[in-house]
Amino acid sequence: MKTPKLLFLAGLIALAGCQLKGSDEQKIEKADENKNEVVQAIMERRSIRKYKDKPVEKEKLDLVATCGINAPSGMNKQPWEIRIVDSKAYIDGITDIFKEANPKVQEDPNFKNMFRNAPCVIFIGTPANGGSEFDCGLAAENMMLAAYSLGLGTCCLGGPIRFMNDNDKAKSYLEKLKFSDDYKLLYAIAIGYPDETPDAKPRDSNKVMFIYD
Ligand SMILES: Cc1cc2nc3c(=O)[nH]c(=O)nc-3n(C[C@H](O)[C@H](O)[C@H](O)COP(=O)(O)O)c2cc1C
């Protein structure tokens, strides 16, 4: 049983811990205390850049994509096309082109592929004339949260997409995604079983303000 002295000491340590933390981290913990599963998934999801060498079940990938297309969209236009690439040949093939253009990436001993080493990648296309990026972003978060709830890790990726859109040699891989003619590749989501548990990055709570008058 804890003596009052020990309790006092524990209180002091807890207080010191609180003071060491920034207000953002405190806010994350506060929301974490809420046992609502959706809130917990939102607070616990992290970008994963290290994956287990374990295939992802097709049913899970399918469910993740289904959650994506159930996101809201302006006038229910559903301005997205989703391509799930579960192919080592595809991922390694485009990565070879990436490595040729960026030889330095191979200096990282953990580098496996250009999609943060994930075994699968979800590519999202949107109408090339623009204006639907917001809808696609909502679909992305749906997919990442659904994946998290299924024990999968994800990482939203913009960098590799710029490469795929700009590099001539990558064109054939872009074509393999079979987006409609009037669509362009917007972003990708790396997905697989996570092999790391990164800490939350700090969030700036000053971005939120209540207005009462
Ligand atoms: C639009 C977008 C593009 C991103 N592009 C990349 C990327 O190219 N490479 C990468 O490692 N992470 C990328 N990220 C992940 C962010 O770095 C990450 O979400 C952010 O640091 C916050 O960390 P968290 O997701 O763990 O909360 C991207 C995220 C978004 C939303």
Model confidence over 125-153: pLDDT tens digits?
A: 999 999 999 999 999 999 999 999 999 99
How close is the Cα of 189 to the center of ligand 1, in Å?
10
Per-residue model confidence (pLDDT) at position 4 = 47
Ligand 1 atom at shortest distance from the alpha carbon of 140? 31
Is the sign of the CA dihedral 47, 121, 119, 109 positive or negative? negative
How close is the Cα of 202 to the center of ligand 1, in Å?
13
User: In angstroms, what CA-CA distances link 42 with 35, 36, 143, 197?
Assistant: 12, 10, 12, 15
Which residue, by CA, sits nearest to atom 20 of ligand 1?
Answer: 47
What kind of fold does domain 58-192 have according to CATH?
Answer: NADH Oxidase (3.40.109)
How close is the Cα of 34 to the center of ligand 1, in Å?
25
Buried-state track 135-156, b at ≥16 Cβ within 10 A, e below 16: bbbbbbebbbbbbbbbebbbbb
Model confidence over 17-66: pLDDT tens digits?
A: 333 344 555 555 566 667 899 999 999 999 999 999 999 999 999 999 99
Listed by start position, the domains of the chain span 4-33, 58-192
- Top mutation candidate among 98, 155, 197 for ligand 1, by most atoms within 8 Å of CB: 155
Per-residue model confidence (pLDDT) at position 34 = 75
pTM of structure = 0.87
How close is the Cα of 210 to the center of ligand 1, in Å?
27
Pocket of ligand 1 (CB under 6 A): 46-47, 49, 116, 155-159, 187, 201
Average pLDDT over residues 194-202: 97
Query: Which has more confidence, 109 or 1?
Result: 109
Interatomic CA distance for residues 159 and 127, integer angstroms: 20
